[in-house]
Structures are given as structure tokens and as C-alpha cells.
Amino acid sequence: MAGRMGGTGNFCWLASRAAALALALALAGCLGLSSEDGGVSADQIAQTAVPQGKVDPNEVAIAEREHPKIVAAFGGTYEDREAELMIASVVGRLVAASPEPWRSYRVTILNSPAVNAFALPGGYVYVTRGLLALASDTAEVAAVISHEMAHVTARHAFLRAQKAEAAAVASQAVQDVVQDPAVQRVALASTQVSLARFSQIQELEADRIGIATLAKAGFDPFGSPRFLTSMSRLAAWKNGLPEDDTGSIDFLSSHPSTPERLAQAQEVARATGVTNGEVDRDGYLSRIDGIMYGDDPNEGYVRGRQFLHAKLGFAFEVPNGFLIDNTSKAVLATNADGVAMRFDGANVAAGSDLVGYLTSGWVNGLDQQSVRTVSIAGLPAAVASAAARGFTYRIAVIRFNDQAFRFLFATRGDAAALDQTFSSTVASFRSLSEAEKASLAPLRIRVVTVGAGDTAETLTRRMVPMDRGVILFRALNGLAANEEPRPGTRVKIIVDR
């Protein structure tokens, strides 16, 4: 969460649980993407094939326009000389082995804890420091970059934009001709499924092209399925799932389900016939030793079930079973029972009425009788309840120093359990002491050698305390459920000093 939050009251966001999405539905006026949000239309991308040896100037112009927006949205760039040199070397080898060796690429490391990578037309490729922290060898990072380069060479952005515009025209035609809302909804859903599957096909194609390029460049082609496996294990940890349960991805996701994608990646890697490609685990671990892990100090800190913000001077704690996801816009948390929380800044002028803010129209389904003023940790606050679309909501707004902050909880389940979760979380909101502020430091990856008596459990105890820390340790180090690290090998742990 950024150093100063000024919420507008309009939010659209997505988390792993249905209740998380429901929080967005409770808030009026959710905005969709516009051209100002960096959307790219087919008209903005050249609609003719690019002659070999040439780069479409329109694609470059789009990338140059969008680049500053992307950097800003992902917390700026992350400066790490060792990582930059490693990536430059990887890109050079991949370009020489790619279908378009004449094309140039610009790779940016983004200062984001999220595990993410993507590409823009024109050869702009982005990887996050969160992705570098999860990868365990150079071949895995090369696999990700090769996949993103494949999106560029296959001109997937143009094709997807063209498909989306055609689908939008068809959907609008149905709405113009057919007055039945049910038929309109079916047409819209059909369009969404078609677009999602189109994107899924592109992802599988990028995997095929990327793995072939990876092998041709001399890297281990199995770096791709290895990294996909680590991603699925990290997702299981984040979503509170069992260690060996990768869960399922919504059928409207733009990416294929993990099992489908992983199976194809393994098949394509085997088909290359390369069995001795470069892995470079030890060299890679040496280069990322000390890389920042998790939240940037300006966004606050997650420590187990606590969120602490030194700059803003407050902290709160979520109940057992919740996992916190700190984003640049808000702090999110979910549990396995389908309860979701959002915490962010509220745009309330100093001295203005908190009850008036709650009743100003930004909450759908608000129970007007539930709105009341309260005191939370000695601070002025107001709380309310709401119900809409089968979900129950609890909302609190707290005035702290010269700002206001809000908690929003949602569930489809037991309202009494929601009340208990809401009350305990809101009551935990407090000021940080100067000593607490001074003690907070960013987390970092440290590489250590596994000793003769070490296990996943003992190595996890050397990390900062985290819920389900053993599962996270295994995900970070490419270990399967119940697998133990081998003595003499090097592994990553998370420390704060």
C-alpha cells in the first residue's frame, strides 16, 4: 500500500476468492479500462505483416508511450547490477536463437513483489523482482523471457486487440437488435469465453515457441516446466491450499490451467531432445543473493498476519488462517472459508463527518440503520453493514492523524463469523511506536548451504516468521511436497537483516 492513500470510492479488483470480487461489486461506479489506462487497440498496431528485418514504428511508439505508465504502476524500476548483467547475457543468447534475430529488446526489472512478466509490442519485456526471487536457476529466468519474446514475435498483442474489437462489435450488434436482457447476457458471456480461450491458445503457442528458442540458445528446456511448477506451489501457499494442491484457475483466465500448460511444457521440452542444457543454479543463486523480497518499504510491511506501515505509523493484524497480499492500491486478505478483506485509504476531508462519508452513496446495499460512530483504539471511527448479490459486508472508517482509512469485509458464508473476524481485525488497528518504526527493515533473499542435519523445517526456522513457512520455503527452492533439501546444496531463505 502506497505511502499516502487517497481512495476515490470507486474500486474494481480481483482476488482468489469469490468474496474478494464481491467487495468490488458492493462499491458503486467501478471503472473499466480506458485508453488512459494503457489499453491498446488494433488500430494502434500496424495491421500488415512486418517485413523481416524491420520493426513496425507504430509498435515502438506504443511501447514508448506505455513504458512510463507500466514502470509507475509496478513501483518503479529495481536496480541490481548483478541481475541486470545476468538478464542482458540471457537476452543476447535468446535473441540470436529466436525466429527474429534482428529484433532488439529492452528488458526492465520492475520493483514489484508480484511474480509477473509480460511484453509490449516493439520489444519491451518486463520481469519483476518477485519473479527473480522465485526462480532457482538461470534456465528458469531464460524460459520466462523467451516466452515473453515469443509473444512479441508472434504479434499476439495485435491479434488479441483485433479479436477483442471484433467481439465488441458483435456483442453490441446483439444488444442493438435483441431487447431481451437474458439473451444479451448470454451473448456477452459467450464473447468473454471466446476471448479468454483465444488468449489461452496464445499462451500455449508462446510456450511452444519459447521452449524451442530456449533449447536452441543452449539452456535447459525443462527450465520452463520447473518454473511453472514453482509458480503453482507458490499460488497454493498464497491461497491457503494444501502444499500439493495447485487449485484451479477460473475458466475465463487468460492463461490455461496449470496442469494443461505444465503437461504441454514438459512434452515440448522432451521433444527438443536437449538433455544437457545449461541450468546454472549456483551461479544464479549467487547473483540474486540479497535481492529484496516482498514489500518495498514505501508500501508497508507484511509480517506474518500483521501489516505494519512505518511511514504512516500504524499496524493491524488479521485472524488466523488469513493470508495478506499487499498491493500498491490496497492491502488484501482472504481465508479458506471465503472471507475477504480490503484495507485502503478513504478520501475524507479533515474534520468532515465519517457517518456522512459512509452514507454518501459509494456502498451498494447499505443498511442505513447499521451506520454508527464508534471509537477504535481511541480513534474516531464509523462502522456499517451492507448486503448485495448474496454477499454480506462489514465496513469501518477510521480517522488517523490527518488521514482516514477503511476496512471492507465480505462473505457469502456465516454472518456471525464475519462479525467476529471484522471486529477483531478492526480492533487491532493501532499506532506504531518509534522503536517499532526503527526496527522495520525490508526482507531479503539470503542463500545458504544446507548442512548435514538440516531439513525444510529447520531451515524455515532461520527465516522471518511466516504462516505456512515450510510450504513457502519449498516453493522458493523448487522442492515438492514433503521433499527435503539435500546436504551440500544451496537454498534460499527469507531474512530481515
CATH code where residue 446 lies: 3.10.350
Q: Confirm if 300 and 307 have CB atoms less than 8 A apart.
A: yes
Q: How far, in Å, CA of 62 to CA of 57, rounded?
A: 9
Phi-psi region of 16 (alpha: psi -120 to 50; beta: other; left: phi over 0): alpha
Same domain, 107 and 117: yes
With respect to residue 11, please indicate whether it lies within any of the assigned structural domains: no
Same domain, 277 and 303: no
Same domain, 372 and 414: yes
Q: How far, in Å, CA of 157 to CA of 45, rounded?
A: 8
Same domain, 39 and 165: yes
Q: Confirm if 317 and 306 have CB atoms less than 8 A apart.
A: yes
pTM of the model: 0.74
Query: Which one of 267, 288, 309 terminates a domain?
Result: 288
Same domain, 140 and 273: yes
Half-sphere exposure in the Cβ direction for 44 (13 Å, CA): 20
Sheet with 292-293, strands from edge to edge, namely 292-293, 443-449, 490-495
With respect to residue 384, please indicate whether it lies within any of the assigned structural domains: yes
Q: How far, in Å, CA of 125 to CA of 109, rounded?
A: 9
With respect to residue 9, please indicate whether it lies within any of the assigned structural domains: no
Same domain, 242 and 391: no
Phi-psi region of 338 (alpha: psi -120 to 50; beta: other; left: phi over 0): left
Same domain, 419 and 455: no
Residues 6+ apart with CB under 8 A from 316: 306, 307, 343, 425, 426, 428, 429, 430
What is the pLDDT, as a whole number, of residue 410? 94
Query: Which one of 288, 319, 338 terminates a domain?
Result: 288
Same domain, 192 and 204: yes
What is the pLDDT, as a whole number, of residue 329? 84
Same domain, 270 and 362: no
Domain containing residue 455: 440-495
Same domain, 457 and 434: no
The domain tally of the chain equals 3
Q: How far, in Å, CA of 170 to CA of 173, rounded?
A: 5
With respect to residue 2, please indicate whether it lies within any of the assigned structural domains: no
With respect to residue 1, please indicate whether it lies within any of the assigned structural domains: no
What is the pLDDT, as a whole number, of residue 158? 55
**Residues in the chain with pLDDT values less than 70:** 2-55, 154-199, 246-257
Same domain, 139 and 185: yes
Q: Confirm if 346 and 352 have CB atoms less than 8 A apart.
A: no
Same domain, 166 and 122: yes
With respect to residue 16, please indicate whether it lies within any of the assigned structural domains: no
What is the pLDDT, as a whole number, of residue 137? 98
Half-sphere exposure in the Cβ direction for 495 (13 Å, CA): 12
With respect to residue 321, please indicate whether it lies within any of the assigned structural domains: yes
Backbone CA torsion sign across 410, 5, 429, 493: positive
Query: Which one of 391, 419, 438 terminates a domain?
Result: 438
CATH code where residue 412 lies: 3.40.1000.10
